[in-house]
Amino acid sequence: MNGELFPRGSMDLATGAVHVPDWLDLAAQRELVTACRAWARPPAGLRTVRMPHGGEMSVRQVCLGWHWFPYGYARTVADGGGEPVKPFPPWLGDLARKAVAEAYGRASTEPYDIALVNFYDAGASMGLHRDSDEWSDAPVVSLSLGDTCVFRFGNTETRTRPWTDVELRSGDLFVFGGPSRLAYHGVPRTRPGTAPPELGLTGRLNITLRVSGLDG
């Protein structure tokens, strides 16, 4: 229990929004970090996302399966060098279905085909947004590695309160689907230096697994 005053149990933040602390053990976290390092390499590797009205996201990103850019998906790095996006490995789909099954207590057969890997250095954050570029209402599966962050989970109507802030730590799972699928959410800050030392990661990685609802 890591000397916690209050144990971190699985918790529903809203209908369909479930936080499962410590879902990945250290070995699984290490495997994912190793995979992320390989995915981050060019071609179609880690990049800075430029927003349509100028400005850049502070989080750097690499995509698997489908390339996300503001605001849509393509099979190539359409807003960059045009290289083909890296493939989405089938084992990540299995991991996503296992996550949904455990978070919701039901079987999952959803065809996961997108991974967005976000890298947060010490100063990085992500503003409140909705994951609304997919054509499927399958739940989004989010895995956290490295530094702890403050994850803000809001409502489906507005970018403003009510919201709930929750700490996502290395190994935590967060799933949002059903009535929460289009809720606003973001990462106001990370807590630099809180990553488990055994992971060998400086900063925070977040992997979101999604179903595109797009053909082939």
Residues that bind ligand AKG (CB under 6 A): 116, 118, 126, 131, 142, 151, 168, 185, 187, 206, 208
CB of 78 to ligand AKG, least distance (A): 18
Comparing CB distances to Fe ion, the nearer of 22 and 131 is 131
Summarize as ranges the residues that interact with Fe ion (CB under 5 A): 131
Comparing CB distances to ligand AKG, the nearer of 3 and 117 is 117
Residue bearing tokens 């495997």: 31
Residue 142 binding target from ligand AKG, Fe ion, none, CB below 5 to 8 Å by type: ligand AKG
Give just the sign of the alpha carbon dihedral 62, 54, 132, 14.
positive
Asked whether the beta carbons of 63 and 46 are under 8 A apart, the reply is: no
CB of 161 to ligand AKG, least distance (A): 18
Residue 151 binding target from Fe ion, ligand AKG, none, CB below 5 to 8 Å by type: ligand AKG
Residue bearing tokens 């045009």: 82
Comparing CB distances to Fe ion, the nearer of 102 and 131 is 131
Give just the sign of the alpha carbon dihedral 132, 87, 36, 106.
positive
Residue nearest to ligand AKG (CB): 206
CB of 126 to Fe ion, least distance (A): 7
130: Cβ contacts below 8 Å, ≥ 6 apart = 156, 182, 183, 184, 185
CB of 74 to ligand AKG, least distance (A): 17
Asked whether the beta carbons of 19 and 173 are under 8 A apart, the reply is: yes
Question: How far is Cα 76 from Cα 44, in angstroms, rounded to an integer?
Answer: 8
Comparing CB distances to ligand AKG, the nearer of 95 and 116 is 116
Identity of the amino acid at 28: A
CB of 53 to ligand AKG, least distance (A): 19
Comparing CB distances to ligand AKG, the nearer of 79 and 131 is 131
Asked whether the beta carbons of 129 and 51 are under 8 A apart, the reply is: no
Asked whether the beta carbons of 148 and 189 are under 8 A apart, the reply is: no
